[in-house]
Amino acid sequence: MSKCSKCDADITFMSVLNSPNPLRLKCSNCKESIKIHSVTGGIAVAIIFALIGIVLYAFYGIEGFWLKVVLPVILVSEVGYFLLIKLGVVKISSN
């Protein structure tokens, strides 16, 4: 399910991390672009961005904000999004 449609390689965390667009990943094996299902992916991205916004707003202005809040929040979001793809909650468009 969460595999590249061209070469059948598993989608790796790096392909999520390296993608500027969360709805269009690139296979780390064959470089084929992997389209994320727009509905499930869109909902997941919207929820993740909302959570990021809430957390950043809640901690805004504390000492070491970027290092202690922004960086970990972004990393956790990337991991979370990757897991949603792995678990098949966020689906991959098959075309």
| Rounded CA Rg of the chain | 15
Considering beta carbons, is residue 27 or 73 the nearer one to Zn ion? 27
As measured in angstroms, the least distance from the Cβ of 73 to Zn ion is 30
Query: Which residues sit at the interface with Zn ion, rule CB under 5 A?
Result: 4, 6-7, 9, 27, 29-30, 32
Considering beta carbons, is residue 9 or 89 the nearer one to Zn ion? 9
| 69 within 8 A of 59, measured Cβ to Cβ | yes
The β-bridge partners of 36 are 92
Considering beta carbons, is residue 25 or 44 the nearer one to Zn ion? 25
Q: Which residues contact 87 (CB under 8 A, 6 or more apart)?
A: 2
